[in-house]
Amino acid sequence: MYLRECIDNIYEQDPAARSRLEVVLCYPGFHVMCFHKLANFLWKKNVRTPARFVSHLARVLTGIEIHPGAKIGRRVFIDHGMGVVIGETAEIGDDCVIYQGVTLGAGAAARAGAVSRDTKRHPTLGQGVVVGSGAEIQGAIHVGDNVRVASGSILLKDVPANSVVVGVPGRVIYRDGKKIEKEQGDVPDIEAEAIKSLKEQIHGLESCIKEVRNTAKAQAREVKTLKAQFLQEGRSGEELASGTDYQALPSEVARKNDDDGSDPVDVFLQGAGI
C-alpha cells in the first residue's frame, strides 16, 4: 500500500512521468523510498549497522542520502534527488516535495560531536511542505504545514504554517497570502543590503553624470552666445581667445584656475566619489 501510494503520487505530481512503470524503473525518488523503508525497519529493530549499510547502498545507487533513523511520512516525493541529504533525527510530514540538492542538516549541533548523540538535531517538516533545489534547513527547527522554501535559501529558525520563505538567511515574505514586512530583530539579509547599497550608488552616479551633462550644455550655449556677440561687435579672434569675457561665465569650470595642473577626468571621478 505504501509503495503504491508513492507510485501514484509521483505519477500525479510529475508531468514528465508517462506511466507508472516509468516511475518504478526510472525515478530515484521512488527507489530511495524503497530502500529507506527497509533501512528504517532494521533501525527500529536495533539492527543498526545493516540499516546503515542499506542506507549507504541507496546513496550509491540514487545519489540521495537518507539516514535510516529519519522519519518520513506518506506520499513524500523527492524529485530528481541528486545530492539530497536527510539527517538522523529529521522528520518529514505527509505530501512533502523535496527537490535536488536539499539538506536537512544538524547545523551547530553537528559540531558538538558525541555530546549531541541521541538528541533532536535535525528539522521537522509539517505536511505539504515544498523545499526548492539547493535549500538548506539547519538545526532542530519546525517548519509548519504548507510552507514553501525557495531554492538556495538557508533556513535557521522556525517558520509558521502557510508561509513563503526566501533568502540567506531565510525570512518569511508571505504568510497566509499576505506580504510580511521585515520584523525588528530579524537577521539582516546581507545580499539584499549589498544590492540596495549598489543601487543607491548607481543612482547617485547617474544624477552626477546628468548634472555634468546639463552644466556642459549650458556652458556650450553661453560660449556660443558670447561668440556671436563678439562677432557682431567686430572684435578680433585674439580678443575672443583672450578669455576676458569667458572668465566672467558663472560656470565652475570657467572660475577654476587652468594652471593648477589637475586632470579634469580625475576631478570628475573625485566629485562622483569614485
Q: Pick one of 2.160.10.10, 2.40.30.30, 1.10.10.10, 3.30.1600.10 as the CATH number of 2-187.
A: 2.160.10.10
Q: What is the pLDDT of residue 236?
A: 53
Say yes or no to pLDDT of 94 above 80. yes
Residue 238 pLDDT level (bands cut at 50, 70, 90): low
Say yes or no to pLDDT of 114 above 80. no
**Strand boundaries in the chain, DSSP class E:** 65-66, 71-72, 77-78, 85-86, 91-92, 97-98, 103-105, 124-125, 130-131, 136-138, 142-143, 148-149, 154-155, 163-166, 171-175, 178-179
Taking only the tens place, the pLDDT of each residue in 205-236 is 999 999 999 999 999 888 888 888 878 776 55
What percent of the chain has pLDDT above 70?
82
Taking only the tens place, the pLDDT of each residue in 161-177 is 999 999 888 888 888 88
Say yes or no to pLDDT of 182 above 90. no
Q: What is the largest CA-CA distance in the chain?
A: 110
Q: Give the global pTM.
A: 0.67
